[in-house]
A and B are shown apart, each in its own frame.
Chain A
């Protein structure tokens, strides 16, 4: 049996093209070996990383780069843990110096327990970063008005949350996400909130360009298997979006012909 070849399906952000529409975080794993194995199983080509102080009392400790090669994976430094625009900008300036590239993930968060994006602070940080030459992929509220503003400012990708960070609740506001995706002219990534494979498929079926997740894989009982499940879910969701789903109808419509029934 030969498979019907489908055209290559890629997405592009800031001039870089990716085949995988799954972007994964590198946090919360048992160790760096598991991190590397899960990322490989996910098929992701872009990974988010955090910027933190070096432990000066043990400078020989293994580093992430030794396990997740920045020459193979596109590192997307984040500003996780930043609650002010100033901290976020400072963190990403350090990230640019450490990594030598301009593509970053900006997130400025509100307080626990929601860690909801602080949009005012996000606008402020985005403006400073864009002025400073960064290419900003921005974590934001599921707010089409705010998202449009971030896009107009020059952000290279819009990344609305599906649900609170690390909650695994699945997409809480699919209708608003769909409208946000519909209006965007830059890539949209659903970021945060995915709990299991079906959530990732739902996100892709809405038409977003990619899905970003960390906890759903790292906190699964078997992270490697869940990484593989997510890879397939994202592919399935993307194909379902491109295929165009059948219309919903109230009531049954039998699949077998009614003619030729035995009497």
Chain B
């Protein structure tokens, strides 16, 4: 049976098929893992753990990058 994860990504609710690692999520979203940082439920997810960390239903994620700023 296919289970679904409901995640909040940068304030938006989206559904994904489980299981889903942080690495797989970033790939699905088309993001370059070297240029972003991920916070999961207000804790940093170290880049070295992206493949191992499996997301859970209800997780709140912030995915950020550098932009122009003063």
A-to-B contact residues, CB < 8 Å: 25-29, 32, 35, 48-54, 56, 59-60, 63-65, 75, 77-78, 80, 90, 93-99, 165-166, 213-215, 218
Contact = CB atoms under 8 A, between A and B. Distances in A.
Given A54-B31, A97-B44, A98-B37, A64 B68 contact: yes
The 7 closest A-B pairs by CB, nearest first: A50-B69, A25-B70, A214-B70, A98-B37, A97-B37, A26-B68, A27-B68
Contacts of A25: 68-70
Given A59-B29, A59-B31, A94-B37, A52 B64 contact: yes
Nearest to B42: A90
Nearest to B69: A50
B29 A98 contact: no
B13 to A, nearest CB: 12
A80 B69 CA distance: 8
Given A56-B9, A98-B35, A50 B47 contact: no
Contact of A48 (B31, B44, B69): B69
Interface in B4-54: 9-12, 29-32, 35-39, 42, 44-47
A64 B63 CA distance: 16
B66 A49 contact: yes
B64 A29 contact: no
A184 B17 CA distance: 56
Interface residues of B, number: 27
Nearest to A60: B30
Contacts of A93: 39, 44
A54 B63 CA distance: 6
A98 B69 contact: no
B68 A63 contact: no
B62 interface: yes
B29 A65 contact: no
Given A53-B10, A54-B31, A97-B47, A80 B63 contact: no
B37 A78 contact: no
Contacts of B37: 51, 94-98
A77 B67 CA distance: 9
Given A54-B31, A56-B9, A56-B29, A94 B39 contact: yes
Contacts of B11: 53
Contacts of A165: 70
Given A53-B62, A90-B39, A97-B46, A80 B10 contact: no
Contact of B64 (A48, A54, A65, A214): A54
A101 to B, nearest CB: 12
A166 B69 CA distance: 12
A27 B10 CA distance: 21
